[in-house]
Structures are given as structure tokens and as C-alpha cells.
């Protein structure tokens, strides 16, 4: 058979396959989430998320040190307070649990890059992401509290804030307040296209953030919609977002690709708790190769256009990159 072009020539050896890869990963692009629980001397397993723990602020650096040994230096912090109220006071309190965690990390590991999740669902007694008005969330009242929360996190030492509430106008409100208070160089990584998804279950158990009534479909996106994601992303850029998050990741690779193609800011994919837990459960049942599926899934997110990956597999992926199995 006379063939001038043979695609298999570039697959013959490991060396040539690695040389000609189109998608390359780096541990520099990985972000590992942590759950910080108010109290002392806490390190307790999260039953829904194998291998992950609740840490109190005085023990969070155990997790940071371990992650950095794997080559992961960027962290996204979620907080679980002891007390909750209707307006989520502990989210923006100077001594709020995430603020305690930020200070603890920065004191011991100033080189760590700390991102604070900026939302209210973990802090409100009703579990919704904002201030209630009847049975709904009042958008405009909420963004004032979201901006105050971002400011408290930055003043505690956060390098970046990540508003995840999906209120209209919250990126602009955060940007204005941070600028007004002298934090013009602090960046915003916005959960720009956050879908109302069934993949969040393990996280809600870990963060204690399930709503006490109703659901979040009033403010999180309908998963049938594609063009709406582009509208949300472009609006957040106009308001001052520096990085955009698409959440979840695996079922939304098309959204990642479109946002990548139509914007000029870095794109982060959030490989969420349900995606993580499904891989773990299937592997435990002997149905899949956990390591192989983890690697393949992560590459798919970067191949779709992600520049950054928020993932509970961050340490394992960093190790896989070092070994040359991906990257």
C-alpha cells in the first residue's frame, strides 16, 4: 500500500509520542481545594470524599506541606463555621474560619498561593448563597455581603478571591470595593458559568452547605443552556474578572471549549466532588483503573481548553506529570 502520510509514524515510540503531544499539563496549573473547619486540633476524614479531610486552622499546614511536597502550591479554601446565621456573618468576620486559615498558611508558607472561595452557602443558617427575601435570594442585597466577604479574605492575606454565588453584578461589586480599599492588584477568579448540577453532592456534605429548603436553580445555570454561559462569562470579564471558572468540568467540556474560543482570559475547569467520587467508587468496585481514568479525564479538560484545573486529584496528577504519564 502506497501511503505518503502515515499517522502511526508519530505513535511508534514513547519518546516520539511525548514529543508530539498537542496537550501539555503542568503542576503549576493545578489547584487543590481544602475544607477548613472552625475549632482546634481537627483532622477528620470526609466520608464522601476519599482521601480528603476537614482541618482546623491550626492543622491546615499539615495539608499544605504535604501538597507542596507533591509540587502543588495553589489552594482553594472553603470554610465550615461553628455558628451560622441568616446573613452568614462568619463569612466576612475578621476572625472567620477561612480568614484564620489564610493567615495560618501565609505565616508558615508565604510562597503558597491562596485563593478564597467567596460565597455564603457554608455560612448561612438556611444554606443558600445569599440574603433571603421570602423564599428567594435577593440578588442586590447579597452582592454587598459578597463584596464584604471578599475584602475580609484579602485583608487576611488571600492572593485571589473566587466568587461562587452566581449573583448578577457581584464581580463588579467586588472589584470596586477592593480597588477602593487599596487592593487593585488582587485578582478575581470568577465562577462565571456555574451550573445547577447533580455532581455537587459530596461537596455539600463536606461543606455542610446543602440548602435547607428548595434548590439553587434560581441563581445557578440551567444545564440545558450553552449561549447563556457565554453571556455570563463576557459579563464577568466586563466587570473585572481576571480568570473564569467553568463548573462542573466533565459534562461541560463543550462549554470550556466555547468560552476558550470566544474570550481572552485564562479558563479554569472545576473537576467537582461528584466527578471525583464517581471515579473513586468505580475503582473501589473494581470496574475501572483509577489512575488511568484520572489521567485521561484531566487531559480531556485541558484538551477542551482549560488553562487551570481545580481538582481533588491535584496531588496525584502532579505525581503523574512528574512520571511523564501525562504532561
C-alpha cell at 176: 470596586
Q: Is residue 148 annotated as part of the catalytic site, yes or no?
A: no
Question: 181 catalytic, yes or no?
Answer: no
Q: Are 232 and 171 contacting, i.e. CB atoms less than 8 angstroms apart?
A: no
Write down the catalytic residue from 148, 247, 280, 315.
247
DSSP readout, 180-224?
A: HTT-TT-EEEEEEEEB--GGGHHHHHHHT---SSS-STTTSBPTT
The CA-based dihedral angle spanning residues 91, 311, 243, 190, taken in that order and rounded to the nearest 10 degrees: -30
Choice among 37, 74, 84, 194 that is catalytic = 194
Residues 6+ apart with CB under 8 A from 287: none
Residue pair 234/265 in contact (Cβ under 8 Å)? The answer is: no
Contacts of 4 (CB under 8 A, 6+ apart): none
Per-residue buried b or exposed e for 159-188, using 16+ beta carbons within 10 Å of the residue's own CB: bbbbbbbbbebbbbbbbebbeeeebeebbb
Nearest Cα to Cα of residue 178 among 156, 155, 162, 196: 155
Contacts with 152 (C-beta within 8 Å, 6 or more apart), sequence order: 91, 92, 93, 94, 96, 99
**What is d(CA 289, CA 274) in angstroms, rounded to the nearest whole number?**
17
What residues form DSSP beta bridges with 54? 35, 44
- Of the candidates 236, 284, 240, the one whose C-alpha atom is nearest the C-alpha of residue 51 is 284
Residues with active-site annotation: 194, 247
Amino acid at each position: 500500500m502506497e501511503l505518503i502520510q502515515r499517522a502511526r509514524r508519530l505513535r511508534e515510540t514513547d519518546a516520539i509520542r511525548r514529543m508530539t503531544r498537542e496537550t501539555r499539563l503542568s503542576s503549576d496549573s493545578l489547584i487543590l481545594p481544602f475544607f477548613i473547619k472552625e475549632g482546634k486540633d481537627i483532622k477528620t476524614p470526609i466520608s464522601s470524599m476519599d482521601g480528603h479531610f476537614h482541618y482546623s486552622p491550626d492543622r491546615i499546614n499539615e495539608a499544605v506541606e504535604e501538597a507542596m511536597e507533591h509540587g502543588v502550591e495553589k489552594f482553594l479554601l472553603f470554610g465550615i463555621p461553628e455558628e451560622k446565621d441568616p446573613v452568614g456573618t462568619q463569612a466576612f468576620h475578621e476572625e472567620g474560619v477561612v480568614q484564620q486559615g489564610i493567615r495560618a498558611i501565609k505565616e508558615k508558607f508565604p510562597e503558597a498561593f491562596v485563593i478564597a472561595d467567596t460565597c455564603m452557602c457554608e455560612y448561612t443558617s438556611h444554606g443558600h448563597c445569599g440574603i433571603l427575601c421570602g423564599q428567594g435570594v435577593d440578588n442586590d442585597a447579597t452582592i454587598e455581603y459578597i463584596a464584604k466577604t471578599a475584602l475580609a479574605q484579602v485583608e487576611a492575606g488571600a492572593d485571589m478571591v473566587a466568587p461562587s454565588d452566581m449573583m448578577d453584578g457581584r464581580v463588579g461589586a467586588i472589584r470596586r470595593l477592593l480597588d477602593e480599599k487599596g487592593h487593585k492588584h488582587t485578582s478575581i477568579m470568577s465562577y462565571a458559568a456555574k451550573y445547577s448540577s447533580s455532581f455537587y453532592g459530596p461537596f455539600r456534605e463536606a461543606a455542610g452547605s446543602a440548602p435547607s429548603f428548595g434548590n439553587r436553580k434560581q441563581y445557578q445555570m440551567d444545564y440545558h443552556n450553552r449561549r447563556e454561559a457565554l453571556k455570563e462569562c463576557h459579563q464577568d470579564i466586563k466587570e473585572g474578572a481576571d480568570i473564569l471558572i467553568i463548573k462542573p468540568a466533565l459534562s461541560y467540556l463543550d462549554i470550556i471549549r466555547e468560552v476558550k474560543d470566544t474570550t481572552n482570559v485564562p479558563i479554569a475547569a472545576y473537576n467537582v466532588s461528584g466527578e471525583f467520587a464517581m471515579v473513586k467508587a468505580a475503582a473501589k468496585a473494581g470496574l475501572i483503573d483509577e489512575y488511568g481514568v484520572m489521567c485521561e479525564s484531566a487531559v480531556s479538560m485541558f484538551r477542551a481548553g482549560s488553562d487551570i484545573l481545580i481538582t481533588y486529584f491535584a496531588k496525584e496528577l502532579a505525581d503523574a506529570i512528574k512520571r511523564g504519564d501525562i504532561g
